[in-house]
Amino acid sequence: MRSRQRMFAAVMRLLLKCLRLGRRRRFKLVRQVEQLWHYGHLCLRSLLYNSFTNGDVVLDSLFEPVYWLVDHVTRWFGVVFVALVIGLTSSIVAIVYICLLPLILQTYTPAWICWHLAYGHWNLIMIVFHYYMAITTSPGHPPQAKNDLTGVSICRKCIAPKPARTHHCSICNRCVLKMDHHCPWLNNCVGHYNHRYFFSFCLFMTMGCIYCSISGWEMFRDAYAAIERMKLLEKERLQVAANQTYYQTPPPTFSFRQRAFHKSVVYLWVLCSSVALALGALTLWHAALITRGETSIERHINRKERQRLQKKGKVFRNPYSYGSWDNWKVFLGVDVPRHWLTRVLLPSPHLPHGTGLSWDLPPCVTEQRAPLLAI
């Protein structure tokens, strides 16, 4: 009996010893896996650590392939966009000359004819001039000789000093003076030397589209009604052709010239109205920026700076803003009153104030600029 108890106790001790050994081995394996995990995590953080890294940097890094694709597509398709602008504008002008102008000369009074001819041709000249100057004028770049260049920061892409209001364009792969944005419809950057041409083109193109939409509203309604009659008569003609007898006469058909005329009028009105809405909104947006003395890029920078200083109880004031009226005078290059006619209402290739490298007080500004920070 005692021998059996001793044997049972020995077996139980052996079993408990095996269980303890298994637990120790299992716990040891878990500890090894945890140590490897912490070691790998520490190595990864040490390789990728940056004190400036935050969520925005990570998001930008993830979207970098998308940015690269957009930049290259915009660069290669810029010529296509320019050709599209020229083609659509030329088609509208051709429709006006071929279809609408003879009708205007036949039905309008001499006074209205003179007004339409004068305004229409003036608006067309301003559109063509400013678009040509916007796509052919360089926006301005910092000089290659960097010895005498005063820079407020260093461009991370060019590894060169950047003057104030200068930014790097990833599509052109160059720094641009007073950069506003890269416009694919111009296949060019909008910067210091062609910003006025870009805005003037947007303004006069919007005015031209509004003019065509308002002037052609009645013609559009008549043309649209005529097209609906065409469809109805075409359906009746097919029905008559299917059940034709000797005593039935098919309805009259419209000629090719009539169809082309009505469809051209509808195309003109729809295109001009759409462009007037889209381009008009863009023009108003840039007009608001010009009024505040900002560019599209500077608006985002100034907004962040304004929020940062607001937390400190300070007020941010744009150092490049001279007041609403003076901002427009500086932007348009109006130094004397006659310049409103010769430089704004007529085509003018005059240069903007300054070189884009430094921003001294323009002579047309009547008030001193506000300080950068105010408490």
Q: At a CB cut-off of 8 Å and minimum separation 6, what does 198 contact?
A: 130, 134, 180, 183, 186, 190
CB contact at 8 A, 170 and 219 = no
Burial of 354 (0-12, 13-18, 19+ CB in 10 A): middle
Give me the catalytic one of 183, 189, 209, 212: 183
Place of tokens 């065409």: 230
Tell me if residue 183 is catalytic.
Answer: yes
How many CB atoms neighbour CB 102 within 10 A?
10
Q: Give me the active site residues, please.
A: 183
